[in-house]
Structure 1
């Protein structure tokens, strides 16, 4: 009995210690963490807004929510980008259960075009000294004005976001309709953004304590001062994809791929040109898959390629190559949809088209010369011009052993002499037409297979 009470006493002590530790942990972990230090997840976007960037932001917001970060911070420096990708990011920010802080940084950075709309959508918007925001007017692929329908739609979105976040509605609308921009001090004075901060730490301090609306029925206080910062930047794979998601890169890959295939058609052989061209075209297809491509532009590109191919088979005054270059320029102009803020730089298109046309002319000349060259591996050209030894002779007919096989001979001149030599002048079916050589006329060369007769 005494032993029982001793054991029970020890168990009660252990249980008591466990409960005390649990209570202490619960007191120090009100938000499910070992301490109460805020944690923020930070990403840097210093590139154009593309589907790759939109996917990266979506994954970052998912991580911030699942790992219970106190805020998701976007360090922004962008000239703009695709409207569709911008809308995807805005939708994700509006649906986020974690406060989103956009910090336009470093000095000299800008939240331009699509970047301005994303900044308007953030729960807290902060700008570094020397930065600017605005110029959100949609433009066509050649920098021209777009339809009023597109502008009205973008202006309505900017107005709705400014109203939702309690910011300057007039400025937000003017950035779209008038292309208005503002430096950081003016943007803060107008209420277009919430604060100015010289560093990320200062930006987190400026955002701390602000009450933001996560959903219509959910308002939270931002906790970001002295926060532990974890990075969520673009990985290597996404950086590669982002590099490819550039209209100029896409156009260059298309032209390189086309040239590679043209030279492979002009002079088939090792396959280096074909492999290079095929790889470039595959990469170009990825670029086109994440960019707003126009069907008209693709059709014009197909016509340009067809004209370049025609130059290979009908080289002359380079008419097909010139026409292909003109159509190639047109395809670059019409390759992307209007209103998306994406275009190919004409400073790149014009010299590229000239180079492609010149290279195609050279490829056409190469193809024409290649077609005229005798074969060195197969067909009748293997024998034409060779000298063979006559093994058997019967007047103007006979036989020889050449290139690993027995061949029938027929003289186009004097009768054949066994043991003599004759030059092959043509091949008719399976008969070698030969011209016997006089004893005083030595043969130019003999078949590499002579002397291999084992009979």
Structure 2
């Protein structure tokens, strides 16, 4: 009897061992939104820890309109050189993998798409209709085409279509991509993908790896707050706004010493903007034009030129804003409406400063020596031609053509150096 129970336990343990051997752990990576330094850091961290966390395969759920080519290239290298299999699934329905996302699909060891998704439009520069590509644009397209063709040949995918996605900006639906050999599988959901992946054999760094995902443990990974913050702080629109807030805040503090809060906000915003610019391809000519434009506007406040310096500053600011970032990804640069709004705001500030300068120029002088003309003063002593008077709380020497009594109110009719010319025609109260 004892032998019988021992045999049952042995068979159970053997079955459990075999079941565990056939099961695996899947790291499910949620990659959505623009390809930027934040998503780059997130993906590299996830793939870098796959081996330490004993994940047999990493699945990237991809939905992106594209983004920075620099971040995309680093992400492609992370996928291509991963020690464990990396599967890219464009999903769920309605998702896309356009522009830089197409490169991530081609870099994966196995690619799948959900019905109702698409990929392509991977041209690295945004060309207007009928325009002739410049030498720089042609070089960028040739470089991108070589990269994606190399990935296609490495993974055994359609290299001709991949090159057309670069040169012609073509796109494919999920059904077309499967038919043309751009992706290997179609799956409408996570569960269906895991079932379809089960039993697939992939080549990973020169060795064959068979996936066992039907009963796999799935661990979902999403960006943490640091990676999300990095994605926000490196977005071109956010960097641009922080840069202007930083400049304007510091300028306001210099013009109004002691306000403090504007200087603090400006300094923090400027540091964050510079941190974001560190991750982005900056055109230094654009940054210098923005700084020059703000300097002109500050000069307008100190040395009013009735708008000439200010208008030059606004023009410099607008031009520098357009040139600030050398980003080739369509739709990922600084929004044109944001540039227009900030330019209009700066123009209104310049007009306000010029208007106040004009009003001050036309206003009658109310202080200093010139401000005494027409003022009423009081005699401090009796005198006939010269004596002392009290004007604006100060003692002045005065000259009069008629005798003056102490305490008598006099009118100032002119100035002779530091001597007031007065008359005795003022009424005494």
2:388 aligns with: 413
Query: How many angstroms does 1:413 deviate by?
Result: 2.7
1:425, 1:433 within 8 Å by CA — same for their partners in 2? no
Out of 54, 78, 100, the position equivalent to 1:92 is 78
**Hey, what's the Cα distance between the residues in 1 that align with 2:10 and 2:356?**
83
**Hey, what's the Cα distance between the residues in 2 that align with 1:90 and 1:170?**
19
Change (3 A) 1:38 1:367: farther
Out of 111, 125, 131, the position equivalent to 1:125 is 111
Out of 287, 304, 311, the position equivalent to 1:315 is 304
**Hey, what's the Cα distance between the residues in 2 that align with 1:93 and 1:135?**
21
**Hey, what's the Cα distance between the residues in 1 that align with 2:338 and 2:286?**
17
Change (3 A) 1:362 1:193: same
**Hey, what's the Cα distance between the residues in 1 that align with 2:48 and 2:327?**
32
2:197 aligns with: 207
How many residues end up aligned between the 2 structures? 373
1:347 aligns with: 337
Change (3 A) 1:22 1:363: farther
Q: Deviation string for 1:273-327 (max 9, x for gaps)?
A: 2222222212211221111111222222222122122122122422222212211
Change (3 A) 1:95 1:353: same
Q: Deviation string for 1:132-172 (max 9, x for gaps)?
A: 00001110599984522211111111111111111111111
**Hey, what's the Cα distance between the residues in 1 that align with 2:248 and 2:10?**
70
Change (3 A) 1:423 1:321: closer
2:139 aligns with: 149
Out of 242, 253, 256, the position equivalent to 2:245 is 256
Query: How many angstroms does 1:69 deviate by?
Result: 0.5
Alignment pair present for 1:103 and 2:93: no
Give the match's secondary structure for 1:167.
Answer: coil
1:74, 1:103 within 8 Å by CA — same for their partners in 2? yes
2:276 aligns with: 287
Give the match's secondary structure for 1:64.
Answer: coil
Deviates more, 1:260-269 or 1:69-78: 260-269
**Hey, what's the Cα distance between the residues in 2 that align with 1:45 and 1:246?**
16
Query: Pairwise mapping of residues 189-204 of structure 1 onto structure 2 (< 5 A)?
Result: 189-204=179-194
1:104, 1:110 within 8 Å by CA — same for their partners in 2? yes
Query: How many angstroms does 1:233 deviate by?
Result: 0.8
Q: Deviation string for 1:83-129 (max 9, x for gaps)?
A: 11111011111111111111111222110111001111111111112
What is the TM-score of this pair, normalised by structure 1?
0.73
1:46, 1:76 within 8 Å by CA — same for their partners in 2? yes
Out of 255, 263, 286, the position equivalent to 1:274 is 263
Change (3 A) 1:29 1:294: farther
Out of 153, 163, 170, the position equivalent to 1:180 is 170
Q: Deviation string for 1:191-247 (max 9, x for gaps)?
A: 1111221111112222222211111x2121122223221122111121121012111
**Hey, what's the Cα distance between the residues in 2 that align with 1:325 and 1:142?**
27
Out of 56, 59, 64, the position equivalent to 2:42 is 56
What is the TM-score of this pair, normalised by structure 2?
0.77
2:201, 2:210 within 8 Å by CA — same for their partners in 1? yes
2:214 aligns with: 225
What 5-or-longer segments of structure 1 have no aligned partner?
1-16, 371-379, 381-394, 396-411, 415-421, 427-431, 442-455
**Hey, what's the Cα distance between the residues in 1 that align with 2:357 and 2:268?**
23
1:305 aligns with: 294
Change (3 A) 1:325 1:223: farther
Out of 386, 393, 399, the position equivalent to 1:425 is 393
Give the match's secondary structure for 2:281.
Answer: coil
**Hey, what's the Cα distance between the residues in 2 that align with 1:142 and 1:440?**
83
1:243 aligns with: 232
Over the aligned positions, Cα root-mean-square deviation in angstroms equals: 3.7
Query: How many angstroms does 1:338 deviate by?
Result: 5.3
Change (3 A) 1:423 1:335: same
